[in-house]
Amino acid sequence: MPCINEGMSMKDFMTGNHAVANAVKLCRTPFVAAYPITPQTAIYERLSEWEASGLLKGIMMRTESEHSAMAACIAASLTGVRTFTATSSQGLALMHEMLHFAAGCRAPVVMANVNRLLAAPWGFWADQLDSLSQRDTGWIQFYCENGQEALDAVIQAYRIAEQVYLPVMISLEAFFVSHFMEVVDLPEQEQVDRFLPPMDLPHKFDIEKPGFLVPVVSSELYRKYKHMAQGSMDSVKKVAAKVDQEFKKEFGRGYGIVEPIMIEDAEVVLVTAGSITSTARMVIRDLREKGRKIGLLKIRLFRPFPVEAVRDVLKGKTKIAVIDRNISLGSGGIFCQELRAALIHSPDHPLTYSYIAGVGGTDVTPEVIQKIALEVMNRSEPFDKPIWVMEE
């Protein structure tokens, strides 16, 4: 693996999965509980290797299911140690009960989810529905464009989680990001140590003062704790932005919670998340060169949905096309739903179109994106239903 040293950090050539694994090691996460599922296995195996050789100091629990893995992570987290797990698709779905539980326990678990389509029928290809269908579980969610961003997101995730006491899920698409090899900047251990203070959980088990964690409560009390959690979740918009800024200061890279690209005088704004963003960047550049006023908005933080940031960036924009690599049957693309809800009171009343592209891992080529952009330019009437892009 060719390595180029540039100043403090070290560059290496690796897949998105390995980038995530490296981030976990750099964060000194001592507790990992996981269960293998394609295409997450490389994360699990690399961490296993390091745990066996002692490079990753700690304990790895090789559980018998993802559900148990999450249970163990929550428990370990509440004991006061930093935890990590990774999964995908079916595994994430199996964890569903535990995802609610983790958020309810306010356990700062960090999980990497490799976005893979959900059966039935079967397949292993990229699709964002698995993590998006968990959007009500109370987890903070980030969508990563590439391996570098996934690595950085893990580090930022711990910082955010351990501040607001909510679990964080960072998503990277199957194969397009997870297995894609790219040059990755590996931060130095000292930098990460500086950036991440040791974990402290006020509500962890205290053997000297025995308490009963997570008891049965009255309706009013449940509501109160949920209200408190909502407040914490809300604060993540500011917290995440701040953490990202501090990250940029320390590591030289920043992403924002949303990223506007060539958006200033755009007549049409495409909205993307994940790897499609990389392709879209190219397309926007091309179209601009051809004189088309097309802009791009990347959504990085999905939960909490960055309503204020999105409204801010899209002020004055009247035509928006969201490209969703997912479909919520009976409704539409989920990013689009969330965006429409965010823009409902916008004085610009933008036309928001929902494009479905890439479901089931189908290729979202530059041509597809260009096609979407040009089509939207020609639209002038509102259209509620999702528009499927299927190449014949």
Residues that bind another protein (CB under 8 A): 30-31, 33, 58-59, 61-65, 67-69, 71-81, 83, 97-98, 101, 104-106, 165, 202-203, 205-207, 209-221, 224-225, 228-229, 232
Torsion of CA 348, 142, 259, 18, to 10 degrees: -160
**Residue 305 CB, nearest distance to another protein (Å)?**
22
Question: Please, are residues 140 and 84 in contact by the beta-carbon 8 Å criterion?
Answer: no
**Closest to another protein by CB, 53 or 219:** 219
Minimum CB distance to another protein, residue 134 (Å): 16
Closest approach, Cβ 208 to another protein, in A, equals: 9
Task: Give the separation between CA 6 and CA 24, rounded to whole angstroms.
Answer: 22
DSSP assignment string, 222-260 = HHHHHHHHHHHHHHHHHHHHHHHHHHHHHHS----SEEE
CA separation, residue 224 to residues 101, 124, 221, 232 (Å): 16, 41, 5, 13
Measured from the CB atom, the residue of 72 and 343 that comes closer to another protein is: 72
Q: How far is the CB of 70 from another protein (least distance, A)?
A: 9
Place of tokens 């259209």: 383
Minimum Å gap between C-beta 389 and another protein is 41
The rounded distance, in Å, linking the Cα atoms of 8 and 142 is 27
Judged by beta carbon, residue 122 or residue 212, the one nearer another protein is 212
Cα 326–330–331 angle (5° rounding)?
60
Q: Which residues contact 92 (CB under 8 A, 6 or more apart)?
A: 66, 99, 113, 130, 131, 134
Of 74 and 186, which has the nearer Cβ to another protein? 74
Closest contact distance (angstroms) between CB of 68 and another protein is 4
Closest CA to 144 of 180, 117, 100, 118: 180
**Closer of 234 and 367 to another protein (Cβ):** 234
**Least distance to another protein from the beta carbon of 165, Å?**
5
For 249, other C-beta atoms within 10 Å of its C-beta total 10
Nearer to another protein, 109 or 321 (CB): 109
What does the DSSP 8-state code read for residue 89?
H
Minimum CB separation of residue 177 from another protein in Å reads 29
Q: Residue 193 or 206: which CB sits closer to another protein? A: 206
Closest to another protein by CB, 224 or 249: 224
Give one DSSP letter per residue of 179-198, joined into a string. Answer: S-EEEEEEPPHHHHHHHSPP
State in angstroms the smallest separation of the CB of 163 from another protein.
12
Whole-angstrom distance, CA of residue 299 vs CA of residue 237: 12
Q: Give the chain's radius of gyration (CA, Å).
A: 21
Beta-carbon neighbour count of residue 307 at 10 Å?
Answer: 17
Comparing CB distances to another protein, the nearer of 119 and 217 is 217
